[in-house]
Structure 1
């Protein structure tokens, strides 16, 4: 584990365990620099990632503090696609299209935060509902965090279902986009190139270490997102 990952993991662990509660001031960057014997840049990179995850907030001339829960933030669960399909009352099927072991390259940098040349498992598969393609799944698995994935074929079990049963996750990030289907995605989904699609990109971490990054592409006319929420007590 790199020093940046170690700082990230240890600070995140103190926050998630409650040792550093909401409103707690994180040690100043120069204090963490002295504690870990590293550069200011390394500390800044770790804290910046925690800001992105919503765990800390930076206050000008005051420092960094553990964030209070944001009432307006939506919380999304990590669902098993198989269960999503079965909840619709449709027959579920799964098909593995490609599985390859490889090293991380420049194109992966925006998807999973790992050192260059880290070993990955790159999986492309599809989920079916009632005989039609439900979604296209493109997933990267960090083999440092999940070494046992290297021996799993994923011929009959989807990687998302497998990971949910194997690796506890501590943090997740969702990004939702509307896109026009690329030629490759259109062919996999059985739709026209340029057709509207819903894309959910999700990254998960366990104790600060990246576990997986997945891109789920759904035909736009076959999927919707529903969020349930209630007024806050202060409202």
Structure 2
């Protein structure tokens, strides 16, 4: 006699407004990976097992896993199944600089101070903040990075609670938000904006420099599959930081 399909788990019964079933399957798997419950190298359930669990078509499951592969979270191995990537955030670590790592590579002593943290709604009239917040709120952080006891960078960051709900419980007193995001939240797109600015009175005091001193302002936004994750502005005294990038031709000439 054919064994009846198992009852769907509570997660499988969820129907979140505005999300298709394949998006929910992807989200459930993604949460297992990002929470650390499924470590790098862990084999995720076979597609036929997910089909039974979610009572859906093989195509729906295949689409969900395909998106996880494209995001760099999962790798497929012929005849073996699908596995959590090693590591799932490799590309993020390569492409977005970690200030702590930058300072340590210079042979300097790193220090971090959280200056301000709040949970708030997007500011009225600021479209970028509304887009980042989505249907949720924002974690607003201001922190100072130091090298050899001297201010190295002032960071003002917003993180979307809708895109990264676990961020609400994170204690940023010890771990910087940039380092935490690099280690826990993979991204698929980023935008940088670089400018030369004069230090405002407030910025000058925090960076221990004269008002109007030339500074490098680096603004960055990141997305995961079109969903905004964070936006940050990092301000460096002009003589403490530089950006170096290597390029290859996009096509042969």
Q: TM-score range by the shorter chain?
A: 0.5 to 0.7
Any idea what SS the aligned residue of 1:106 has?
A: coil
Dislocated runs of 4+, deviation >6 Å: none
Tell me if 1:191 matches 2:183: no
Any idea what SS the aligned residue of 2:157 has?
A: strand
CA distance in structure 1 between the partners assigned to 2:161 and 2:200 by the alignment: 29
Give the 5 Å matches for 1:85-100.
85-100=103-118
CA distance in structure 2 between the partners assigned to 1:86 and 1:226 by the alignment: 17
| Higher RCO, Cα 8 Å, sep 6+ | 1
CA distance in structure 1 between the partners assigned to 2:214 and 2:241 by the alignment: 11
Give the 5 Å matches for 1:19-98.
77-98=95-116
Tell me if 1:182 matches 2:200: yes
Structure 2 gap segments, 5+ residues each = 1-15, 24-93
Give the 5 Å matches for 1:132-171.
132-171=150-189
CA distance in structure 1 between the partners assigned to 2:130 and 2:244 by the alignment: 27
TM-score by length of 2: 0.60
Tell me if 1:203 matches 2:221: yes
CA distance in structure 2 between the partners assigned to 1:199 and 1:2 by the alignment: 39
Match of 2:234 in 1: 216
Any idea what SS the aligned residue of 2:175 has?
A: coil
Any idea what SS the aligned residue of 1:85 has?
A: helix
Does the 8 Å contact 2:117/2:140 carry over to 1? Answer: yes
Decide whether aligned partners of structure 1 residues 109 and 229 sit closer, same or farther in structure 2, where only a CA change above 3 A counts. Answer: same
Residue deviations 1:118-177, cap 9 Å, x none? 400000001111111110010000000111111112000000000111111010000000
Match of 1:53 in 2: none
Tell me if 1:126 matches 2:144: yes
CA distance in structure 2 between the partners assigned to 1:231 and 1:168 by the alignment: 26
Aligned CA RMSD, in angstroms, stands at: 2.5
Match of 1:65 in 2: none
In the TM superposition, residue 2 of structure 1 has moved relative to its aligned partner by: 9.5
Structure 1 gap segments, 5+ residues each = 10-75
Decide whether aligned partners of structure 1 residues 179 and 171 sit closer, same or farther in structure 2, where only a CA change above 3 A counts. Answer: same
CA distance in structure 2 between the partners assigned to 1:2 and 1:171 by the alignment: 25
Which has the higher Rg, Structure 1 or Structure 2? 2
